[in-house]
């Protein structure tokens, strides 16, 4: 952007000096700081990495290009230095044996291995109602000393080593003795969970997905078959098989409104990831790709199709009337869609208000921008197959795929479009153009929903609210 016209990044007229750079607006400064502190990874919305950043187009702004411009402008986060002290206090501190460790400035971009906290200060990573340590001069998770936490244990923060779960429900703290600290910290209930409930190891799932993509029908010969027909007809058949493979229990055996258990939810997600890998391997065009390309396309599409599939799975098993549909969360948790329309947060049973406040906008978007439009569209398996092909084979980042693979992907989408048009014509569906536009818009909405969800999870993970290991793993979603 032209610096004379306002902010160097987005052109906003109100600017100042932020992160040692002049002519930067507060919005871009806050965006850069949040990206660094939460270690967020972005992808270019258009794949060009030359997007124009305009504050007037906030809804479509490219985060990668905005972050790149921030770095090019010279923005850097500075470490906060210690408050000034008298000469006598500095000399006294220099003589103390712990001065070498406590005099180091706090690096806000580090993995929070050590935090310097003076006797009169508070730990500002959390609010004072969550954690208040007044007697400790050093907090370090590597030490052997332990602090008793009655009744439960802290959630494992996967991206930060500040807090960790132990089977004995104790918090490791070094630099202080147990007697000194056992009564001083005040830890809010937001951070408590059953340690056995929150444990999650993604390694077995990752191995299973890699085996499916690597060996295909040699690993799962019964589920992967060579289906005859056009690309759209074959995808339609795979979609039908996908619905049936879930084996959701009938309504008569369901208790609506049961609280969500983390272990059951993660098993349900694992099942979805495995079934999606099998679905893709049922397509000969996908199966013939090399392993790295298959894994790349899988990671680019599994989360988007997961949202779409979970909504359509609810319609497939429980009908399409609002008052009858049950939204499937996992094999044991089902919620009335009508009740979710009335209150999108009604599925958060026994969940702290902090987490509800964080996830409420996400749930509202899922209910009103995704599920309700899908319910009105009443998509059949041909149309769902067309959406799936768009999610998997649409143009991705430059350099990630071979040129021959990109041409194959373009050919697949071209053929699928022609076949869908012929299908509409044979069914005498007059509003075909409208339906294609709505399906395209739905893909964009689901992508935006998942990007927002992943950002919320990064925040929650940073503060140790719940485990997000799956999203940071080798099979984690890409955008």
> What are 399-429's pLDDT values in tens digits?
678 888 899 999 999 999 999 999 999 999 9
- Residues paired with residue 24 on neighbouring β-strands, in sequence order: 16
Q: At 11, is the pLDDT very low, low, confident or very high (cuts 50, 70, 90)?
A: confident
Q: Provide the mean pLDDT of the chain.
A: 73
Nearest 5 degrees, angle CA 223-CA 226-CA 228?
Answer: 130
Q: Which parts of 312-444 are beta strand (E)?
A: 326-328, 334-336
Rounded to the nearest 10 degrees, the angle between the axes of helix 231-245 and helix 403-426 is 80
pLDDT of residue 396: 66
Rounded to the nearest 10 degrees, the angle between the axes of helix 432-462 and helix 353-365 is 160
Share of the chain above pLDDT 90, in %: 29
Q: Which helix (H) or strand (E) holds 406?
A: helix 403-426
Model pLDDT for residues 131-167, shown as the tens digit of each residue: 333 333 333 434 433 434 333 333 333 333 333 333 3
Q: At 20, is the pLDDT very low, low, confident or very high (cuts 50, 70, 90)?
A: confident
DSSP state, residue 58: G
Cβ neighbours for 202, distance < 8 A, ≥ 6 positions apart: 469, 470, 473, 475
pLDDT of residue 141: 36
The encoded tokens of residue 55 equal 């504050």
Q: Give exposure, 320-340, as e/b (b: 16+ Cβ within 10 Å).
A: eeeeebbbbbbbbbbbbbebb
The encoded tokens of residue 241 equal 């098989």
Cβ neighbours for 72, distance < 8 A, ≥ 6 positions apart: none
pLDDT of residue 399: 62
Sequence-ordered alpha helix ranges (H) in 199-290 = 203-215, 231-245, 262-281, 284-287
pLDDT of residue 187: 28
Compute the chain's Rg from CA coordinates. Answer: 26
Q: Which helix (H) or strand (E) holds 170?
A: strand 170-172
DSSP state, residue 80: B
Tell me how far apart the alpha carbons of residues 397 and 365 are, in angstroms, rounded to a whole number. Answer: 27
Answer whether CATH 3.30.50.10 is correct for domain 3-72.
yes
Answer whether CATH 3.30.930.10 is correct for domain 200-472.
no
pLDDT above 70: residue 377:
yes
Q: At 22, is the pLDDT very low, low, confident or very high (cuts 50, 70, 90)?
A: confident
Tell me how far apart the alpha carbons of residues 169 and 171 are, in angstroms, rounded to a whole number. Answer: 7
Tell me how far apart the alpha carbons of residues 428 and 437 are, in angstroms, rounded to a whole number. Answer: 18
Tell me how far apart the alpha carbons of residues 40 and 63 are, in angstroms, rounded to a whole number. Answer: 10
Q: Which parts of 312-409 are beta strand (E)?
A: 326-328, 334-336
Q: At 462, is the pLDDT very low, low, confident or very high (cuts 50, 70, 90)?
A: low
- Lowest average pLDDT, out of 115-124, 305-314, 449-458, goes to 115-124
Indicate the length of the chain as a whole number: 479
| Pairs from 349-358 (Cβ < 8 Å, separation ≥ 24) | 349/257, 349/258, 349/259, 349/260, 350/259, 352/189, 352/190, 354/190, 354/465, 355/190, 355/460, 355/465, 355/466, 358/456, 358/459, 358/460, 358/465
Model pLDDT for residues 187-204, shown as the tens digit of each residue: 222 333 443 444 456 788
Model pLDDT for residues 425-447, shown as the tens digit of each residue: 999 998 999 999 999 999 999 99
Token pair 């299973």: residue: 208
Q: Give exposure, 234-267, as e/b (b: 16+ Cβ within 10 Å).
A: bbbbbbebbbeebebeeeeebeeeeebebebbbe
Ranges of each domain in the chain? 3-72, 112-197, 200-472
Tell me how far apart the alpha carbons of residues 473 and 462 are, in angstroms, rounded to a whole number. Answer: 16
- Lowest average pLDDT, out of 38-52, 91-105, 181-195, 442-456, goes to 181-195
> Higher confidence at residue 434 or residue 18?
434
The DSSP string of 9-51 is: TT--S--EEETTEEEE-HHHHHHHHHHHHTT-----SSSSS--
Tell me the three state secondary structure of residue 418.
Answer: helix
The pTM score is 0.58
pLDDT of residue 4: 52
- Lowest average pLDDT, out of 80-84, 187-191, 342-346, 371-375, goes to 187-191
Tell me how far apart the alpha carbons of residues 206 and 224 are, in angstroms, rounded to a whole number. Answer: 19
Tell me the three state secondary structure of residue 368.
Answer: helix
Burial label for 126, CB within 10 Å (0-12, 13-18, 19+), is middle
pLDDT of residue 84: 44
CA atoms lying within 13 Å on the CB side of residue 42: 19
């Amino acid at each position: 952007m032209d610096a004379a016209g306002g902010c160097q990044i987005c052109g906003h007229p109100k600017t100042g000096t932020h992160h040692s750079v002049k002519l930067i607006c507060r919005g871009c400064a806050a965006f850069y700081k949040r990206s660094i502190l939460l270690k967020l990874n972005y992808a270019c919305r258009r794949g060009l990495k030359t997007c124009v950043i305009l504050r007037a187009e906030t809804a479509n702004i490219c985060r990668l290009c905005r972050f790149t411009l921030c770095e090019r402008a010279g923005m850097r986060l500075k470490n906060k230095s210690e408050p000034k002290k008298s000469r006598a206090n500095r000399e006294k501190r220099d003589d103390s044996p712990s001065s070498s460790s406590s005099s180091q400035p706090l690096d806000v971009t580090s993995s929070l291995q050590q935090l310097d906290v003076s006797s009169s200060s508070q730990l500002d990573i959390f609010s004072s109602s969550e954690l208040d340590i007044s007697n400790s001069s050093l907090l370090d998770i590597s030490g052997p000393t332990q602090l008793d936490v009655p009744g439960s244990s802290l959630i494992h923060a996967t991206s930060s080593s500040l807090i960790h779960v132990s089977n004995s429900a104790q918090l490791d703290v070094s630099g202080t003795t147990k007697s000194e600290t056992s009564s001083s910290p005040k830890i809010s209930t937001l951070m408590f969970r059953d340690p056995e409930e929150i444990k999650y190891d993604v390694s077995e799932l990752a191995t299973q997905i890699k085996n499916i993509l690597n060996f295909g029908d040699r690993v799962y010969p019964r589920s992967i078959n060579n289906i005859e027909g056009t690309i759209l007809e074959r995808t339609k058949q795979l979609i039908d098989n996908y619905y049936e493979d879930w084996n959701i229990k009938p309504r008569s055996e369901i208790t609506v409104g049961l609280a969500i258990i983390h272990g059951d939810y993660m098993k349900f997600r694992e099942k979805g990831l495995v079934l999606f890998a099998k679905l893709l391997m049922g397509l000969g065009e996908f199966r013939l790709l090399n392993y790295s390309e298959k894994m790349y396309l899988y990671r680019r599409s599994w989360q988007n199709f997961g949202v779409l599939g979970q909504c359509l799975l609810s319609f497939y098993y429980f009908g399409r009337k609002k008052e009858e549909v049950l939204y499937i969360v996992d094999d044991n948790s089902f919620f009335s869609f009508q009740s979710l329309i009335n209150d999108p947060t009604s599925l958060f049973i026994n969940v702290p208000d902090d987490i509800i406040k964080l996830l409420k906008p996400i749930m509202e978007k899922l209910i009103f921008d995704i599920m309700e439009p899908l319910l009105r569209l009443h998509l059949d398996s041909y149309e769902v197959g067309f959406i799936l092909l768009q999610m998997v084979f649409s143009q991705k980042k430059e350099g990630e795929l071979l040129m021959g693979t990109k041409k194959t992907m373009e050919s697949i989408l071209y053929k699928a479009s022609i076949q869908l048009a012929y299908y509409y014509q044979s069914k005498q569906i007059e509003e075909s153009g409208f339906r294609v536009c709505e399906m395209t818009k739905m893909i964009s909405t689901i992508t935006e929903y998942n990007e927002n969800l992943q950002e919320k999870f990064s925040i929650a993970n940073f503060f140790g609210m719940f485990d997000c290991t799956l999203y940071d793993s080798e099979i984690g979603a890409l955008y």
